[in-house]
Structure 1
Amino acid sequence: MIDDVLTQAQQALQEQQPLQRRRHFARQLEQFGDATALILNDGQHISYQTLAQLADHFAQNFVRFDVWPHQICALQCRNNLTSVVAYLSCLRHQRPLLLLDPALPVAQLDELTKRLEIAALINEQGEMTRISSSAFRARADLALLLSTSGSTGSPKSVMLSQVNLQANALSISQYLPMLDTDAAITALPLHYSYGLSVLNSHLLLGAKIVLTDYSVMNKEFWQLVNQQQVTSLAGVPFSYQMLKTLRFERLPLPALRYLTQAGGKLTSELTSYLQQLSQQRPIPIYLMYGQTEATARIAYLAPEYLPNHADCIGHAIPGGELLLREPQDRSLIEKALTAGELCYRGANVMLGYATNSAELRTTQQLEELATGDLAERLPNGLYRIVGRLNRMLKLQGKRWTLDHLEATFSSQGFKVVCTGRDDLLVVGAIDPNAASKAPAHISNYLQQQLHLHPTLFKVLLLRDIPYTSSGKIHYQAIFNLASGGNSDAAG
């Protein structure tokens, strides 16, 4: 009897040790010693021990610029060594960090940093500048602030804790076939929650990350993939559209073990392509669903479901729970094939939103995340998204709030109506003048300021706003004008 108890205790201890060893990944880099953590564009290898030393050395800047624990820094984050070092230094030394797209326009950057009372700005070369004399300190458990809408400069930021980051990295490492011998590559920006989750989950395991700003359309990217024997690729729908154009299935990539996709719903064309790709290479492909509000990941579709259930988001990640609620009374929906708002519970659910410094002091603890998506549960237990409650799109893996876009153009003197779906943004410029310059201005702004690829948007010139019989803006009619079809549009 006692022997049985001892044996069970020893087994339990062995099962717990890996989890204990992996706590607070940013603070436990040293445990992997001389193993390679980062590989740079020039082929230089940075060990985990060296990475930890660089992060702690960077912390001298906090003393130099009088940035105390729980005072917030902002980082113009690129896929380079200095950004990773600054990120890890902030996590290791209790300085909450706002991750920013380095292409964010200066005016929006200034407005955002003032509203959140950011103490210091770290540029993409890793140089710190004190930008506020405020002594403001945020809540003690705040570790990271991420934008909800990519490069659009939305004032709403997601508050994440170290527990959130750790829990999501651990879940990802459990459902993906990740090994400590793996090598990932930064195919997505690190200031984007999906791209950051690739870094976090590999650092948790002691695996390698190839740091590069090259995109999948650059030959240098594929040279790195081959030279450094990259074992996995992460992409948003736009990434896979580019891979399809490149005829990815023909590329010789012997080290590649699996692919992941998130950041928005795939078109039927891309879904078919991935189904074929998984058989041609052959290679497992994980379709994933997530939100920045859940640190990164919420659900995943295991590869065996891809042939017949590619329209589903699958099951909740390890440690998480999916549920459906009636949008009106919030009652729980238990019947299969009944649509409701998709909600999620897990240790990776954000602390809350912040639009100003006062909200960074709150003590709220969010237990359940309402995703804003309508979904249903199939009889086999898989979940499928069937619609969206709110007016937002995901393009190139970034969330675009349509109301915020309309307000942005309104501030520039243009009256617009925005609609679309996850593969096409439609902007209707309202102007009875047939020679209006509004469409050209809007198109240039979307490309040059918001860095949106021209294949992902269409700008229309409308004489007036179309309305439904009930007096609401007829978003579907606007979308149909742009697409020539009847697919559902946001709004």
Structure 2
Amino acid sequence: MLHPSEPFPAPSPVRLLPVRPVRPLRPNGVPFARELAAYGDRVALITPEGELSYRELAERVADTAERLGSVRRLVLLAGANRVDPLVTYLAALSAGHPVLLVPGDNESTIRSLTEAYAPAVVARPEADGTWTLAENHRTGVHALHPDLALLLSTSGSTGSPKLVRLSHENLQANAESIATYLGIDDTDRAATTLPMHYCYGLSVIHSHLLRGAGLILTERSVSEAAFWDEFRAGRGTSLAGVPYTFDLLDRIGFEHMELPRLRRVTQAGGRLAPERVAAYAELGRRSGWQLFVMYGQTEATARMAYLPPQLAAERPEAVGVPIPGGSFRLLPTDGHGPDVGELLYSGPNVMLGYAESPADLALGRTVEELRTGDLARRAPDGLYEIVGRRSRFAKILGLRIDPQRVESLLEEHGVTAYCAGDGEALAVAALGRAGEQARIRRLVAEECGLPSRAVRVRVLDRLPRLATGKPDYEAVRRLTRPAEVAPPGPDQDLLHLYAEILDHADVTEDSSFAGLGGDSLCYVEMSLRLEESLGRLPTDWHRRTIRELRAMAAPASERTKGQEERPEPRRGRPAPGLRGALRSWTTPGSWRTRRTLETGIALRAVGIVLIVGSHVQVFEIKGFAHILMCVAGYNFARFQLTGAEHRERLRHMGRSIARIAVPSMVWITGAVLLTDFYDPANAVLLNSLIDQGNDRFDWAYWFVEALVYFLVALAALLAVPLLDRLERRCAFGLPLALTAVALVGRYDLLGLASARPQLSPTVVFWLFTLGWAAARAETVRRRVLLTALLLLALPGLFQDQPLRTTLVIVGLALLIWVPTLPSLRPLNALAGVLASGSLYIYLTHYQVYPYLQEDFPLTALFASLVVGIGYAAVVTRVTRTVRWL
């Protein structure tokens, strides 16, 4: 990726036959598209390949306008958040060519609208990436009204021939209005988080180009780490999203992100629950940005109302006030109260009218006032509130879907069905045979431009009807909801896997490992089992939903040549232990299967072997217990400090503490009763506090004791709502501050350390908080800071042991800087077994190796590992039957 300041690459090749002008073009066009050069050398576009100034953009727009010719013609444009489509779009607007804007990734829509409207030029990419302006007609074949500038679909991406006709004035007026109430200026930079062919995404482009602001052109999802790299590198100030975007922001920990230049977040494209509006408004207040909740329709170019950000927290249920230049009135509607009516909108951004055939492109204005189809009321404070819909149109993931059109499409494919919107999903009840469900879902998803997860299908032998004989759409919604669907088939194995390992009965496609309360004890097993089913996992898989993980799994046809075939998901439970590791070693080609291994897992696996081996005296490599304390803090941040609400967070913490403390106390109690090596204080994990002796075995379990103390203390602190909010707001700052405080204990300035200071909880707490901070160190600057802190504070902890000090520094530097390490499949399996059983190996090895150490040291090492893995299996089985653990 080039630095944003590097020269922008040459434009992609464009093919268009030369056209001789037949008649002069009417000197019309959209002003903001014609006046780009006025902003000179200000940055207009920012892409992974570099920056493009307004002057350079204007030159490319002028060149493309010349290629389009001087004869006014209809241009069908395959939209995408890339430079070539945007340049072509602006060229057409500036020169007065009407644009039929369609989704660039939907072949059926491009085909159907090309057939329906016979555009003179089709602008789209070829298979080799070449951007083409393919000429179908040398002259305009349609009568085009002088005001016509843009045609957009009214119903998402179903390929419906019904289009919204928008004028040059509509585009300019709505862009002016939006830029005014959002306060956009030439220092702003907005990311293209929404599709260009969607009126909301297009309005972001219009309003920012109007003011000479920058556009961060990207086609990445906000769920991708690379998106945020581009956003920060481009100095992004504006972020736009539909409700589903905010679902993704919740999952990726948006509230913890450091985005110092972010000024505003905008939301439209469907109703966001009032409590979430209020929560994001409060987050924006704390973080220094404003939340604008907006309301609009394609028929109004984009926006009709907005909620002033200062009212978002106290009036989150309202859509707000009309945009500058617009106005509302309520049309009384039968069957509703006197204060409720259909919302009608007037303003310069109201469409010219609809088009259903090429002949309609010659029409002028046929609509003066827009009937929104929404039922609304005006509150005493002047804010408008939407209370329902008069029509069946539904907004799903920001797309306006016409269920009637979907029913007609299915009818064309021989499927009789009823369709209804249900929140963020399209519910489809269809007549058919068992086994047709997947085909119908795929057909609807492709035609509507929706992901499969947003289409719920139920195949029935009789469609639900009301007593009047009309379709029962409420029954369609009810019958297609997950709780009503027949038992899951093989494609839902991941749901069963999550339910089995995390002991949850309410797992859905939108569940994540962290969201279900997964912790470091079951993390390793889950990651190995998922790798067997899905292949290589992203480093943040624990925060991704099952649906996202399933979508990321590449089909066999896309695997790189020579890569081993991924095994079919198993119906029974695979053995993740030694048997699984041995199977991996003996699988043909397994040593050639390249994988990666998370650094935290690798440190746990290597660390427990070196700890036990050093105790057995097979070798003497010390320091890994302190590395694992840092790993424990790292995992605490990843698995306990999720985006869950306060009470759920505390419940997860309590469950994790119990899963560490109870098995430890059970085992140590047995050791106290059967041997003379331990005092009763060990059994209740209090030896570090009581300090009854200085014998080696009295301090054997210092690590477990310290870990439990830290978790209990932090759970108590975060039980205070104010501190919980502080952690969510200062995800990196809080652990960094705690590390600074913990350095008081590191140097024992208060004299609290025991006779073995390097094993004292007060001395090692800074390592735990350092690991916590490492999990939140998303930038190079933060990692450098933590590394410097490590290099300054660690020396002297282990007096006269330079090798131990160096080992700990290297291990923690790996954790801070290197998220994954190259590996092989059998090594992953073995590391998984050792890492998942590391706590239990540590607990049990003191009762195993002393009996074999003198005569059979290697056997003592191996036996200690096996017994610990066995105890891990027992604990795992018990915790899955005793829910409170």
Is the 1:73–1:96 contact (alpha carbons within 8 Å) kept by the matching residues of 2?
yes
Query: CA offsets per residue over residues 257-296 of structure 1, 9 Å max, x none?
Result: 1100000112456445424533442431011000011000
Is the 2:123–2:134 contact (alpha carbons within 8 Å) kept by the matching residues of 1?
yes
Give the counterpart letter for 1:286 in structure 2.
F
- Cross-structure match for 1:129: 134
Q: 1:24, 1:75 → 2: CA distance?
A: 20
Q: 1:227 to 1:484 in 2, by over 3 A?
A: closer
Q: 2:206, 2:468 → 1: CA distance?
A: 49
Query: CA offsets per residue over residues 308-363 of structure 1, 9 Å max, x none?
Result: 3211111000000011112469xxx9x9x711111100000001110111111112
Q: 1:41 to 1:484 in 2, by over 3 A?
A: closer
Task: Say if 2:456 is the partner of 1:453.
Answer: no
Q: Report deviation, 1:90.
A: 0.5
Is the 1:429–1:438 contact (alpha carbons within 8 Å) kept by the matching residues of 2?
no
- Cross-structure match for 2:380: 379
Q: 2:141, 2:413 → 1: CA distance?
A: 35
User: 1:68 is matched with which residue: 68, 71, 84?
Assistant: 71
Q: 2:287, 2:134 → 1: CA distance?
A: 49
Mean alpha-carbon deviation: is it higher for 148-157 or for 463-472?
463-472
Is the 1:36–1:208 contact (alpha carbons within 8 Å) kept by the matching residues of 2?
yes
Give the counterpart letter for 1:129 in structure 2.
A
Question: Which structure 2 residues correspond to residues 259-408 of structure 1 after superposition, within 5 A?
Answer: 259-267=265-273, 270-271=276-277, 273-327=279-333, 338-408=339-409
Q: 1:420, 1:72 → 2: CA distance?
A: 33
- Cross-structure match for 2:479: 481
Give the counterpart letter for 1:73 in structure 2.
V
Q: Report deviation, 1:470.
A: 2.7
Q: 1:59, 1:381 → 2: CA distance?
A: 45
Q: 1:373, 1:341 → 2: CA distance?
A: 6
Larger Rg: 2
Q: Report deviation, 1:457.
A: 2.7
Is the 1:147–1:157 contact (alpha carbons within 8 Å) kept by the matching residues of 2?
yes
Query: CA offsets per residue over residues 48-78 of structure 1, 9 Å max, x none?
Result: 1111111110123223xxx711x20111111
Q: 1:193, 1:451 → 2: CA distance?
A: 15
Is the 2:401–2:448 contact (alpha carbons within 8 Å) kept by the matching residues of 1?
no
- Cross-structure match for 1:468: 466
Is the 2:345–2:370 contact (alpha carbons within 8 Å) kept by the matching residues of 1?
yes
- Cross-structure match for 2:245: 239
Q: 1:268 to 1:472 in 2, by over 3 A?
A: farther
Question: Which structure 2 residues correspond to residues 171-250 of structure 1 after superposition, within 5 A?
Answer: 171-250=177-256
Is the 2:241–2:266 contact (alpha carbons within 8 Å) kept by the matching residues of 1?
yes
Give the counterpart letter for 1:460 in structure 2.
R
Q: Report deviation, 1:140.
A: 0.8
Q: Report deviation, 1:148.
A: 1.2
Query: CA offsets per residue over residues 103-126 of structure 1, 9 Å max, x none?
Result: 2234x4233123223111001453
Structure 2 counterpart SS, 1:59: helix
Q: 1:373, 1:484 → 2: CA distance?
A: 28
Question: Which structure 2 residues correspond to residues 45-60 of structure 1 after superposition, within 5 A?
Answer: 45-60=51-66
Give the counterpart letter for 2:365 in structure 1.
Q
Structure 2 counterpart SS, 1:233: strand
User: 1:28 is matched with which residue: 26, 35, 54?
Assistant: 35
Q: 2:79, 2:110 → 1: CA distance?
A: 13
Structure 2 counterpart SS, 1:343: strand
Q: 1:384 to 1:228 in 2, by over 3 A?
A: same
Give the counterpart letter for 1:187 in structure 2.
T
Mean alpha-carbon deviation: is it higher for 442-451 or for 319-328?
442-451
Task: Say if 2:156 is the partner of 1:158.
Answer: no
Give the counterpart letter for 1:131 in structure 2.
N
Q: Give ranges in structure 1 of 5+ residues lacking alignment.
A: 1-22, 487-491
Q: Report deviation, 1:45.
A: 1.5
Structure 1 counterpart SS, 2:245: helix
Is the 1:116–1:355 contact (alpha carbons within 8 Å) kept by the matching residues of 2?
no
Question: Which structure 2 residues correspond to residues 438-449 of structure 1 after superposition, within 5 A?
Answer: 438-449=436-447
Q: 2:466, 2:448 → 1: CA distance?
A: 31
Structure 1 counterpart SS, 2:370: strand
Question: Which structure 2 residues correspond to residues 417-428 of structure 1 after superposition, within 5 A?
Answer: 417-428=418-429
Q: Report deviation, 1:485.
A: 9.5
- Cross-structure match for 1:430: 431
Q: 2:334, 2:150 → 1: CA distance?
A: 32
Q: 1:151, 1:327 → 2: CA distance?
A: 31
Q: Report deviation, 1:245.
A: 0.7
Q: Give ranges in structure 2 of 5+ residues lacking alignment.
A: 1-29, 485-885
Is the 1:86–1:126 contact (alpha carbons within 8 Å) kept by the matching residues of 2?
no
Q: 1:443, 1:179 → 2: CA distance?
A: 44
Q: Report deviation, 1:449.
A: 5.0
Is the 1:265–1:422 contact (alpha carbons within 8 Å) kept by the matching residues of 2?
no
Q: 2:290, 2:270 → 1: CA distance?
A: 19
Q: 1:95, 1:30 → 2: CA distance?
A: 20
Q: 1:483 to 1:306 in 2, by over 3 A?
A: farther
User: 2:85 is matched with which residue: 83, 86, 111?
Assistant: 83
Mean alpha-carbon deviation: is it higher for 241-250 or for 280-289?
280-289
Q: 1:132 to 1:210 in 2, by over 3 A?
A: same
* Bigger RCO (CA 8 Å, 6+ sep): 1
Q: Report deviation, 1:205.
A: 0.5
Q: Report deviation, 1:481.
A: 2.5
Is the 1:323–1:343 contact (alpha carbons within 8 Å) kept by the matching residues of 2?
yes
Is the 1:170–1:204 contact (alpha carbons within 8 Å) kept by the matching residues of 2?
yes
Q: 1:238, 1:145 → 2: CA distance?
A: 26
Q: TM-score, normalised by structure 1?
A: 0.87
Give the counterpart letter for 2:71 in structure 1.
W
Structure 2 counterpart SS, 1:307: coil
Give the counterpart letter for 1:126 in structure 2.
W
Give the RMSD, CA atoms, in angstroms: 2.2
Q: Report deviation, 1:456.
A: 2.5
Query: CA offsets per residue over residues 387-446 of structure 1, 9 Å max, x none?
Result: 111111111211000000111111111111101234221111123x4x2x3311122224
Q: 1:29, 1:177 → 2: CA distance?
A: 19
User: 2:95 is matched with which residue: 93, 105, 110?
Assistant: 93
Is the 1:226–1:253 contact (alpha carbons within 8 Å) kept by the matching residues of 2?
yes
Query: CA offsets per residue over residues 170-202 of structure 1, 9 Å max, x none?
Result: 000111132210111111111111111111111
Q: Report deviation, 1:304.
A: 1.8
Give the counterpart letter for 2:469 in structure 1.
G
Structure 2 counterpart SS, 1:209: strand
Give the counterpart letter for 2:403 in structure 1.
L
Q: 1:231, 1:282 → 2: CA distance?
A: 11
- Cross-structure match for 2:258: 252
Q: Report deviation, 1:377.
A: 1.0
Structure 1 counterpart SS, 2:339: coil
Structure 1 counterpart SS, 2:131: coil
Q: 2:431, 2:280 → 1: CA distance?
A: 39
Q: Report deviation, 1:41.
A: 1.8
Q: 1:296, 1:227 → 2: CA distance?
A: 29
Is the 2:143–2:359 contact (alpha carbons within 8 Å) kept by the matching residues of 1?
no
Q: How many residues align?
A: 450
Is the 2:406–2:444 contact (alpha carbons within 8 Å) kept by the matching residues of 1?
no
- Cross-structure match for 2:693: none
